[in-house]
Structure 1
Amino acid sequence: MIAKETHLKDCFVIEPTVFEDARGYFFESFNKAKFLELTGLEVDFVQDNQSKSSKGVLRGLHLQTGDFAQAKLVRVIEGAVLDVCVDLRKDSDTYGQHLSVVLTAANKKQFFVPKGFAHGFVVLEDDTIFSYKCDEYYNKNSEAGIAYNDSTLNIDWQLPMETLILSEKDQALPSFKTYSDGN
């Protein structure tokens, strides 16, 4: 397993060691001791989530706040996504910056998104299965988010904006500035 820290502190792209032969493949998708050794971060995942989506579905940018803030380890089981996170830690040198990573079933990469970040993804292939581990339980009252198309963030979602499929909730999320001013 290789953990590559990104320009956003505590965000890591994880590349597992994959063992392949005529039967298929095997890899360890998570090992707490190795994760700590490679990243220096101690996490205790308590909830796993999975979604299946069609090409063009955009989910995000979401986060949990307060005591229910979540760190996530995300990966694609089938298909492909462009995964995006935004640093919302006001005391961070990279506050307001974002990072995009392509995660696919073929590359088997994982992305660790720490607490204090908004997170979202756009689906690049039909029937994509997305999986993520969270270190805190979901709490509806702690939900927050930022508009995917915020002009300050200027995220390139790699698909034409008019083809994106969003929930009503995601279409109504506030701008980065509005969110920041309120927090």
Structure 2
Amino acid sequence: MILPIVAYGHPVLRKMCEDITPEYPDLDKLIANMWETMYASSGVGLAAPQINRPIRLFVIDSEQIINNLEEDEKDEYPGDAGVKRVFINAHIVATGGEEWPYNEGCLSIPKVREDVYRPETVTIRYVDEHFQPHEDTFTGVTARVIFHEYDHIDGKLFIDHLKPLKRRMIKSKLDDISKGKIKVDYKMIFHK
């Protein structure tokens, strides 16, 4: 089932999310709905707060980014084949490498894209959908997508990484989003 996406301005997007247990109600169904929602809205990642659930859960599919690159562009992300994965109760262990810019967007902040600087690598501890523990290091665009979705479960947004001047320049767009004055191809929840 395709779920509505929470728009910028909704308080759930600013909550520090809670870890969950394997007994979380209908978790398999929730994860399936998140994948369906993410793909239906042309996303590469989706965090639970974006569907109005303040829990530490996100899904990513960076394979679609890597697979859609031109052959010469793939050289920019050596060692990054992309991943399609569920992250539950994720906690960053370490980051590394040079910070580099990438033009990010967000389903909760539609039609706003800005360059955000993030580290090259991230090591993250999490459990998968079967609650099997993992600690993995990711690089390149996959690390980027993980950082972005991880921010969501910590109550942060990609715009929080922008310099104050950039934030002021997009303020009217953000205000329009929070007031529901935006048209997108997917259903959104606006805070009233």
Give the TM-score, by structure 2 length.
Answer: 0.23
TM-score, normalization: structure 1? 0.24
- Which structure shows the higher strand fraction? 1
Greater share of helix: 2
